[in-house]
Amino acid sequence: MDQVADIRTMLNDFDISAVLTDVSASTSTTVKGIFSNESEEVDVGDIQVEVTEPQPLIV
């Protein structure tokens, strides 16, 4: 398979939909992509909380 076919297969099998909103224009668009599962621990008072911030890898 070539790279484009591999990407299409990954998007079909593992894609997640995300909605991008342009507040100034009052419009939104749904895009499909593959996102990382980035997370980090942050201190909140005396406890640590895990915060997730997915980053797009392929859109």
Domain of 33, in residue numbers? 3-58
pLDDT of residue 53: 78
13: which residues sit within 8 A by CB, 6+ positions away?
Answer: none
Backbone phi and psi for residue 53, each to the nearest 5 degrees, phi listed first: -140, 85
pTM for the model:
0.44
How many domains does the structure of the chain reveal? 1
How does pLDDT run across 29-55, given as a tens digit for each residue?
998 887 777 788 889 999 999 988 777
Strands 39-44 and 27-35: unpaired
